Amino acid sequence: MKKISVAWRRLPVNPDSLKNILLLLMRLVLAYGFFAPAKMKWSDIGSIADWFGSMGIPAPTLSAYLAAGTEAAGVLMLALGLGTRIISIPLIITMGVAIKTVHWANGFEAGENGFEIPLYYIIMLLTLLVFGPGQWSLDSIIRRKYRTV
């Protein structure tokens, strides 16, 4: 363990300085991951509502619009780092519903349409909820601007 600690301190870059780039990459990966599902939902919202209804999701048309809207807003807000903590909450809920209604019965494996990928999304969203979007975000720029006022 001591060798790892020594090696960690000898890195040419301060590991703590990597936090902001990792948070940016996490936001961009999530935004990319939500893009195709949001686009697919909006391209045929009626079919999505019918599908939701067939799974027993209450108010399927409203639920389809809420899911599509949340994912579309998530793409934009996560990519920009704007309202990151706020959008993380409905995205976590959306992923939780997706796991329960679509993925759970298929088990864990992503290749079997299991809950692996939505679970990873939830973990990344929880990370952003706890740590925020990092310095390379509109949230950070806005926060810095209003701190100096």
> pLDDT tens digit string along 89-143?
999 999 999 999 999 999 999 999 999 999 999 999 999 999 999 999 999 999 9
Confidence band of 37 (pLDDT split at 50, 70, 90): very high
Number of compact structural domains in the chain: 1
**Quick check: 103 and 114 in contact, CB under 8 A?**
yes
Distance of alpha carbon 109 from the chain centroid: 19
10 located within any domain: no
Of 49, 69, 68, 67, nearest to 59 by C-alpha is 49
> pLDDT tens digit string along 68-89?
999 999 999 999 999 999 999 9
45 located within any domain: yes
64 located within any domain: yes
Structural domain boundaries, residue 113: 20-147
For residue 127, which phi and psi values (nearest 5 degrees)? -60, -45
42 located within any domain: yes
Single-letter code of the amino acid located at 88: S
Any idea which residue has 């995205």 for tokens?
91
